[in-house]
Amino acid sequence: MDKHDISSLKQLLSTKKKIVLVPHKNPDGDAIGSTLGLYHYLLKGNHQVNVIAPNDYPNFLKWIPGEDSILKYDSQTKICDTLINEADLIFTLDFNAFHRTGNMETVLAESKAIKIMIDHHQAPEDYATYMFSDVSMSSTCEMVYHFINFLDGTDLIDATIATCLYVGIMTDTGSFRFPCTTSKTHEIVAHLIEKGANNADIHNHVFDTNSYKSLQLLGCALTNLKVVPESRTAYITLSQEELNRYDYKKGDTEGIVNYGLSLEHVVLAAIFIEDKQEGIIKISLRSKGDFSVNDVARTHFNGGGHINAAGGKSYLSLKDTVEKFISILPSYNKALNHE
Ligand code: 5GP
Ligand code: MN
């Protein structure tokens, strides 16, 4: 974001605006944290601000300050359409292509509002007037912190904003351990704690909310874990029947893919989760080092993401999806064994 963009944004935000903030579909901690952090900041500027999420999100995010004011497009479509059509500014956070908002794609594409993208994924689409896109950033929450700083608003960061932003930095960095975590990330996090983010409480809210059944589901996933040693790959499957058996709720499978990556020598981990309602297999991919799962997701599984964390989907059966995955592994063996 250059000086010119920053000064025009300052100018735009100097008078009261109708603003809509949008995270991606199936929002995660970074998507919700960044939209709510920016929401609280913009409210201080006396704007009319609404957060519209394409759909619902897991219970472990349903305590973040302001989350009860988030509108859900899939169940409140009419009011959301009106707000989007009347908006002066639309901020899109933690995604960079409209199709990542599911059913909101058309109304967003057709809206006349000025669009501002804040995002850290690869290959941004060209829909935004103001684009703050940086793949080197740990999280969109870290970028919202920088964005507030660009607007000379750092002094306005209070415990509420700090809490929201801490959530996304914590979740997208795997609690500050992924390579995307920089010294700058730690500096920002230190500042957020100074401003009143309670790190221990936030960690408990997000990570210590297992139910007995969700731990049993984890047990099932670990039982299903398979390793392909020659490709240094581990993968997990969860069928719809298994999800039903353990009373699956949104969020219960979050983070399970990382267990594969915790195996010695493994540099690529995948999880395949059957979703009969949507008629897809949801795929999450994780890697270590410079092996790009973004490439794998983009080339083979209708998805994308980052070098070390990406997602996608398959319209094949669970069995055929896994077969396809295993069949493409040899083409990556050189890169996988190079780590
Ligand atoms: P997850 O595996 O946690 O769903 O996603 C990992 C990363 O990949 C996240 O940053 C997420 O935004 C991105 N991602 C997940 N699914 C998709 C997808 O279908 N398309 C694209 N472009 N990115 C995805
Ligand atoms: Mn993110």
pLDDT in tens, 72-122: 999 999 999 999 999 999 999 999 999 999 999 999 999 999 999 999 999
From 287, 306, 313, 315, the mutation candidate for ligand 1 (largest count of ligand atoms within 8 A of CB) is 306
Is the sign of the CA dihedral 310, 304, 134, 90 positive or negative?
A: negative
For ligand 1, atom 20, the nearest C-alpha belongs to 303
CA 130–ligand 2 middle distance (angstroms): 19
Is the sign of the CA dihedral 105, 109, 112, 115 positive or negative?
A: positive
Q: What is the pLDDT, as a whole number, of residue 116? A: 98
Is the Cβ atom of 101 under 6 angstroms away from ligand 1?
Answer: no
Question: With 0-12 CB in 10 A as exposed, 13-18 as middle and 19+ as buried, what is 276?
Answer: exposed
| Residue 120 CA from chain centroid, whole number | 10
Q: What is the mean pLDDT of the chain?
A: 97
For ligand 1, atom 17, the nearest C-alpha belongs to 311
**Per-residue pLDDT tens digits for 195-248:** 999 999 999 999 999 999 999 999 999 999 999 999 999 999 999 999 999 999
Which candidate, 133, 55, 63, 61, places its Cα nearest to that of 91? 133
Is the Cβ atom of 305 under 6 angstroms away from ligand 1?
Answer: yes
Which candidate, 38, 122, 90, 70, places its Cα nearest to that of 295? 122
Whole-structure pTM value: 0.95
User: Minimum-distance ligand to the CA of 141?
Assistant: 2
Which candidate, 24, 15, 21, places its Cα nearest to that of 40? 21
Query: What tokens appear for 158 in the block?
Result: 């209070």
Q: Is residue 179 over pLDDT 60? A: yes
Q: What is the mean pLDDT of residues 268-281?
A: 97
Biggest CA pair distance of the chain: 60
CA 318 – CA 314 distance, rounded (Å): 9
Q: What is the pLDDT, as a whole number, of residue 190? A: 98
CA 91–ligand 2 middle distance (angstroms): 15
Contact in structure between 293 and 307 (CB atoms under 8 Å):
yes
Amino acid at 126: D
Is the Cβ atom of 168 under 6 angstroms away from ligand 1?
Answer: no
Q: What is the pLDDT, as a whole number, of residue 1? A: 87
Domains of the chain, CATH where assigned? 3-207 (3.90.1640.10), 212-336 (3.10.310.30)
Contact in structure between 49 and 39 (CB atoms under 8 Å):
yes
Give residue 339's pLDDT band: very low, low, confident or very high (50, 70, 90). low
CA 224 – CA 242 distance, rounded (Å): 11
Q: What is the pLDDT, as a whole number, of residue 197? A: 98
Amino acid at 204: N
Is the Cβ atom of 284 under 6 angstroms away from ligand 1?
Answer: yes
Q: What is the mean pLDDT of residues 290-317?
A: 96
For ligand 1, atom 10, the nearest C-alpha belongs to 305
Is the Cβ atom of 308 under 6 angstroms away from ligand 1?
Answer: no
Give residue 10's pLDDT band: very low, low, confident or very high (50, 70, 90). very high
Is the Cβ atom of 33 under 6 angstroms away from ligand 1?
Answer: no
Is the Cβ atom of 64 under 6 angstroms away from ligand 1?
Answer: no
